[in-house]
Amino acid sequence: MNSAYYARVIAPDPIEGAIWWTRAVYISSLITAFIMPLIGAMGDFGGLKKRFLLIATAICVVLTAILFRMGPGDAWVAALVFIGAGVAYQSLQSLGNAFLPELSTRESMGRISGLGWGFGYFGGLLCLLPALGMVSGRLPEAGGLNVRATNLLAAGWLLVFSIPIFLFLRERQPRRRASAFEYVRRGFGRISDTARDLRRYRQAIRLLIARLVYNDGLMTALTMAAIYAGAEFGMETADLLVLGIVVNATAGASAIGFGFVQDRIGGKRTIAFTLVLLMVATALAWFARDRTMFWAAAILLGLMVGPNLAASRALLASFVPRSKQGELFGFYACSGRLASVLGPLSYGLILGATGSHRWAIASIIVFLAAGLLLLLRVDEEEGAALAAAEGAPAGG
């Protein structure tokens, strides 16, 4: 669902709508944060990652399609449906990430992760093109049909392009048949074992903590960009879709390009470089007084967001023993989703206190800077050596 459309049309008031939207984002993130370590551990135990991925995809498709029915006065219902769709989408992302160590070696993780993010962004770009046509006059504007129909497009797009995954992706972890109770019991048991042995995986934990903080700023920038652009620069839905197309294109190209860079200079350096420029992009958006300067900030954001996400995933994958793929990527999802809590919450609180989107967006720089400082404590070589000692990723 378009966040700006929700704030302007579905919610009773644009400011209140922006605040409600931030709350919906962090509630869905909290739910995902609490369930994904368990789901990942259950998937590792039972060889169920692919089955859980199918379930999450189906739920996301159905709930996204239901958003088509939402209109003025449906603010609470729309928020609840969005929360459910958000949990499903974030879950399928985490489960998909857990296959990365099976599909690459340590030497190729940067490229494979970058290609994955890059093609994902280009897929999003191709989806945005017909969406732009919908909102620009090909569909009637009465009742917001032109905007609401984009939810059906998104649901259908996810359904169609997920089919090859379920036809061709193979899960290498052997399937274990057990009762639902046994899966849950073993899942909690694996999490408990990992928690008792956190010092052994200290580099992975340090990365997860750093990512929790810097991703807080990044996710806030991504989720609130449309609302900020609409409030400060008067951008309409068509303008925002064009902005989304440009950001997706730059993010996709840079994710692919920086994948090769990461394999040469390492994941930690790649992430640090992107964080510095993400702070610059946020500062540009904060100081921008016209659309031209805001566009420059948005393009720089796109250029850095793809490599940041791809490098973060690949760096963790290089720290993950084969037996812990789903579980540690469940914690990765947990850190990522908790990272979508404090940032949007801070944005909403500052917006509510000041009524200013500019003061709210400035808070993003704090999260990015703090995350960078925490990242400096990560020892990339030690983390990779431990993963290799306990069982290298498939193919390594």
- Measured CA to CA, the distance from residue 372 to residue 282 in angstroms comes to 15
Q: Are 172 and 323 in contact (CB under 8 A)?
A: no
- Name 273's Cβ contacts closer than 8 Å, sequence gap at least 6: none
Number of Cα atoms under 13 Å in the Cβ half of residue 281: 25
- Measured CA to CA, the distance from residue 201 to residue 319 in angstroms comes to 8
**Where would I find the beta strands (DSSP E) of the chain?**
none
In this predicted model, what pLDDT tens digit does every residue of 11-66 receive, in sequence order? 888 878 878 887 887 788 788 877 877 787 787 777 778 888 999 999 999 999 99
- Name 338's Cβ contacts closer than 8 Å, sequence gap at least 6: 29, 30, 33, 212, 216
**Distance, CA of 286 to chain centre:** 23
pLDDT at 376 over 90: yes
One-letter amino acid for residue 297 of the chain = A
Q: Are 18 and 227 in contact (CB under 8 A)?
A: yes
Give the pLDDT score at 211.
87
Q: State the CB neighbour count (10 A cutoff) for residue 381.
A: 11
- Name 141's Cβ contacts closer than 8 Å, sequence gap at least 6: none
Show me where the domains of the chain are located: 3-391
- Measured CA to CA, the distance from residue 209 to residue 121 in angstroms comes to 26
Give the pLDDT score at 342.
73
Give the pLDDT score at 368.
93
Nearest residue to 233 (alpha-carbon basis) of 221, 219, 243: 243
Give the pLDDT score at 77.
92
Tell me the C-alpha to C-alpha distance, in Å, between residue 317 and each of 155, 204, 327. Answer: 29, 9, 12
Task: Specify the range with the lowest mean pLDDT, choosing from 144-153, 184-193, 351-360, 371-380.
Answer: 184-193
- Measured CA to CA, the distance from residue 18 to residue 83 in angstroms comes to 15
Q: What fold characterizes domain 3-391?
A: Growth Hormone; Chain: A; (1.20.1250)
Confidence of residue 396 (pLDDT cuts 50, 70, 90): very low
Longest CA pairwise span in the chain (Å) = 62
Residue with the two structure tokens 């990512």: 211
DSSP string, 97-151: HTTHHHH--GGGHHHHHHHHHHHHHHHHHHHHHHHHHIIIIIS--GGGHHHHHHH
Give the pLDDT score at 227.
80
Query: What phi and psi, each to the nearest 5 degrees, are found at residue 233?
Result: -125, 5
Radius of gyration of the chain (CA): 20
Residue with the two structure tokens 């390594």: 396
pLDDT, greater one: 314 or 387: 314
Q: Once rounded to an integer, what is the mean pLDDT over residues 385-394?
A: 62
pLDDT, greater one: 347 or 199: 347
Give the pLDDT score at 195.
65
- Measured CA to CA, the distance from residue 22 to residue 12 in angstroms comes to 15
Q: Residues of the chain with pLDDT > 90: what percent?
A: 19
Q: Are 315 and 189 in contact (CB under 8 A)?
A: no
Q: Are 331 and 190 in contact (CB under 8 A)?
A: no
Confidence of residue 82 (pLDDT cuts 50, 70, 90): very high
